[in-house]
Amino acid sequence: MGSTSEFSRRDLIKRAAAAGLLAMPAMGVLSACATGSDGDDKTPDAGKGGKPGGLRPLNVNGSTPLDVVIFDGGFGQQYAKDAEAEYKKAYPKADIKHTGTQDIAPQIQPRFNGGTPPDVIDNSGAKQMDLGTLVGLKQLTDLNALLDAPSLDDPKKKVRDTLRPGVVEMGKFDGEEVWVLYYAYTVYGVWYSRTNLAKLDAQYPETWDEMLKVCEKAKKKGIAGWTYAGQHPYYIPFSLYPFIAKIGGVEVMDRIDNLEPDAWKHPAVKAAFEAYYELYRKGYILQGTPGLDHIQSQTAWNQGKALFIPNGSWVENEAKRMTPPDFQMAVGAPSSLDRNDKLPFGTLWAAGGEPFIVPKNAKNPQGGMELLRIMLGRKSTQNFIKAVSSLTSLNGGTEGLTLPPGLASSQQALTKAGKNVVNPRLQDWYVTLQKEKIGKAALGEMMAGRLTPDEAIKKIQKFTDETRNDDSVKKYRHK
């Protein structure tokens, strides 16, 4: 794709996610394995729309146990337990096994290999399973049956018609099958405290020169400019990738996602890497950051030891126990490098997050999809928003709610971004490449001062080329 080409249909869909938010008052079919009913044909209360014909649209067997695994991270587990309670009301004969863990792959991959996977999995976190590999090995259920089912609140609408624009597309890897349901709607960027910036008589820097000036001002007060999850440096791209897209255009990130030769050698990548490396070189990164995990870095940030941290909108909930009452958490889009940037200030990364999957060999895939249908109802959505300060992929649900500072800021950031919302796919398509190689072996090393930008770029391009040439890795491309 040339640098002057029009944005792809996929990108237009992704960017429409922001427009879908602004429109809010606030945010293959499994016929072969349908198991029928046990005679209890009640569904969860569907609100004013009523119950979908009084029948289970997914042919759930109400006597079959449901096995649920939830990533116990930034969003915790309670939202899922609450949805499971709604499932239990509808199917009182069903025993529900709930497992919360941060070790998704170590605990669940052996169950895939043994042919006994759970019925629904929140495949998230540092130890998530590689989605691209699961899709390539045909180990997942096509979720079109769920998407074509009547929505919980309005049976006249299909589930797919209640979701934010782009969410369904994100679940596709190739073809029309939908393998993943991204439940949360995440805003990535540079997170900060309005209060702590005000103490420095500063505002969020809209240019990189201003960013360096604010960091220098903080340094003189004994405060670091930045910190990040040094033990999980794949957090760095949450602000770095949209920075690259802002500088060089969305097509630069598309080439990177497509594993194209020399994609990482684009001048926009070099410029972005050099800017971030300058944070290290000038001593603007909190001492000891390379050894910190995500909780430790967030704690230091909450304590005012650093001004900025690259993160996603789950941070408001994950860090709430350490966040001072007057912190006024907010998210900023990447600062402009200079006037030659291809996209305006405000460009940021926002997309579906928290990937839920239903294994192909699950004992109760219909039950797994039914739980997701319940979670995409207004009741569960509002419960999630109130509990964890994040939006869901349901296009709505914030009516009547008072939003906390971080979530309110996320909506403001999306409003400013307008159509300039980007959605890099490396973290979905190539988890190992993104986390272990690009993140840990290159970006983490660069930000710790152990690699120069040129060395990091050379290393990442090598990793990319190896992945592209590895026939055992399923490849995906932007349409």
Q: What is the pLDDT of residue 151?
A: 96
Rounded to whole angstroms, the Cα distance separating 238 from 439 reads 11
Res 176 pLDDT > 80? yes
Q: According to CATH, what is the number of the domain 27-185+353-402?
A: 3.40.190.10
Instruction: List Cβ neighbours of 16 (8 Å cut-off, separation of 6 or more).
Output: 165, 166, 419
Instruction: List Cβ neighbours of 116 (8 Å cut-off, separation of 6 or more).
Output: 361, 363
Res 297 pLDDT > 50? yes
Res 43 pLDDT > 50? no
Q: Where are the beta strands (DSSP E) in 194-268?
A: 224-226
State in Å, rounded, how far the first CA of the chain is from the last one.
11
Is there a contact between 337 and 343 (Cβ–Cβ < 8 Å)? no
Rounded to whole angstroms, the Cα distance separating 10 from 169 reads 8
- Report, in this order, helix, strand and coil percent for the chain, each rounded to 5: 45, 15, 45
Q: If residue 100 lies in a helix (H) or strand (E), which one and from where to where?
A: strand 96-101
User: DSSP secondary structure string, 20-40?
Assistant: HHHTS------GGG-----S-
- How do strand 66-71 and strand 120-122 relate by DSSP bridges? parallel
Res 291 pLDDT > 90? yes
Res 178 pLDDT > 60? yes
Residues 75-112 have pLDDT tens digits of 999 999 999 999 999 999 999 999 999 999 999 999 99
CA 341 vs. chain centroid, Å, equals 25
Domain with CATH 3.40.190.10 in the chain: 27-185+353-402, 187-350+421-468
Residues 364-408 have pLDDT tens digits of 999 999 999 999 999 999 999 999 989 899 988 888 889 999 999
- Closest by alpha carbon to 416, among 342, 331, 352? 331
Residue count (the chain) = 479
Instruction: List Cβ neighbours of 4 (8 Å cut-off, separation of 6 or more).
Output: none
The whole-model pTM stands at 0.80
Is there a contact between 333 and 410 (Cβ–Cβ < 8 Å)? no
User: DSSP secondary structure string, 412-428?
Assistant: HHHHHHTT-EE---HHH
Rounded to whole angstroms, the Cα distance separating 353 from 376 reads 14
Q: What is the pLDDT of residue 188?
A: 96
Average pLDDT, the chain: 89
Residues 208-220 have pLDDT tens digits of 999 999 999 999 9
Residues 244-253 have pLDDT tens digits of 999 999 999 9
Residues 330-369 have pLDDT tens digits of 999 999 999 999 999 999 999 998 999 999 999 999 999 9
- Closest by alpha carbon to 307, among 411, 203, 389? 203
Q: According to CATH, what is the number of the domain 187-350+421-468?
A: 3.40.190.10
Rounded to whole angstroms, the Cα distance separating 331 from 315 reads 10
Structural Rg of the chain based on CA atoms: 22
Sign for the pseudo-dihedral over CA of 204, 208, 209, 214:
positive
Rounded to whole angstroms, the Cα distance separating 67 from 62 reads 13
